[in-house]
Chains A and B, each alone.
Chain A
Amino acid sequence: MTSLAPAAQPAPAPANPLAVAWARLWRSRRLVERNILVYRHQWIIIFSGVFEPIFYLIAIGFGIGGIVGNVPPQFVEGREISYLAFAAPALLATAAMNGAVFETIFNVFFKLNYAKTYDGVLATPMGITEIALGEMLWALFRAALYAVAMFVIMLVLGLILSPWGLLIIPAALLVAAAFAAAGLAGTSYLRTVNDFDVPMGLIVMPMFLFSGTFFPIEVYPEPVQWLVQLTPLYHAINLIRGLSLGMVGLPQLWDFIYLVAFFAICLTLAMRQMEKRLIK
């Protein structure tokens, strides 16, 4: 094992770093192809996830929305926004997050620790970078599937209230990329299946509940609001909700910058961690 891994690193790089990056990204498609082959017989695992945000939309959007009616106007710039239109873009953002983290946490953990898939991959011309990029691209596809499904439903139900809504899908891809990188970085710290409690129970679930998904964070006391504003899901929701409701301004620019920076940091960390785990 030890003798194999370093030999699997690509040959010394040509001068242009952009060309190297592209070559690696292009080579990482092989891992995506591998995942497509594997999931051909297990497509229900991925496909069933499409329905999760839709069930939430029906239950919370219609069930609770029927009681709430419109969101209290002081939370949405004094406008008349139905609760359904308020919750839907947040559910799209969380669907993008879930698609990305389910893939990079559960499935990567399994391949890393039990199936030892990557030890095999490293015996080919693919290196750590290609593995990390390949898994992230694959997670991105899964997240995109969920985001697009949700987008179509919002479109059909007339829940996209502004032409800015055209940018929802690219924004959702950014969100998915950020969470895919974060998931990949986090998974490398997990040792047993019991450790899933930590990322899911202490990070993903609380973010899902508290990031303004189902109600505006302005209902919290100030210090709690600040705390929520530190989390990536808050910015994902704020960005996508802003685009959907047509409330786009400096805060959304700030959300965008936050997500790009978060993505860059997590990507660097993910590469370093994967290298630590795979090259022993």
Chain B
Amino acid sequence: MSENILVVTEHLQGRVLDITYVMLAGARRLAEQTGGKVIAVLLGYKAQFLTQDFGADKVHSYDRPSLEHFSPDAYLRVLEAEINAEQPRAVLLGHTTIGMDAASGLSARLHLPLVSQAQRFDGSNFVSQICGGKIMAEGPLPEPTALVTMVPGGYRPEDGQGRNPPILEKQAPGLEGMRVRLSHFIEPEAGDVDIAKESVLVSVGRGLQNQNDLELVERLAKDLRGTVSASRPLVDKGWLPTSRLVGKSGKAVKPKMYLALGISGAPEHVEAVTGSNLIVAVNTDPNAPIFNVAKYGVVMDMYELIQALSNALEQEAHAA
């Protein structure tokens, strides 16, 4: 039994995902409470360079070709061995397409308690964000080893960086007889703009009533020298390509300004926009969660605002 906190590194195609840093920051808070160390667990192949800026005390690296890409079966087996060997106080995984595949399985396999959707730690309590971000649930971190899947929003990624921890090579258990095998990746359609690099995003959600109305939005985006992005419902409808999707299964964005029109702000969306310098949200529902992350909010029909804003920008252009 140790007081250490394990953080399962999430990386994809040679890049560390932000949630890893968020977890490292959270793990540090917990470790301060328990007096243990923060250990980043890295499963990969020739991926150790990824951990240089980790805010961890050390890295346990499982390095072999079959771990190059995420596979639920393989992660379960390696993490089972790691947890059994380490007996940590807590294991943090992302509440993500990677971490969620492993965490619950580990809980069942190792008979360890699991906390989902944790946003932050308050002393030795977890604080989870449930019900679409409308409710927070708090409780003591369960014993002996708590498995935790984390959502962003509680910690800044910067706070999980900057220690250049030593790397400890670990021997992975046998990985034969896997029943889940990756066959290949399917890249998103290329050729479109990269919304992650845009400095102004005009983002639309359910509030957009018709595909034809995208014209209005595009015109506004042009006036603002920005690009149009969207939340999941519009991409699901096929009104915009996946490359324009902001959210958990789309892109995380960091523009100078994120103008959210008719977006209610589900957690999957919100977590991908928190890196924005300025968020302005327009929604007819005054209780829309998007207002909890926005700097400025307007309760108004998005069409009305688009019209008024276009006029104001035009006047501004004339005045200049």
Binding partners A and B: no
Q: Name B's A-contacting residues (CB within 8 A).
A: none
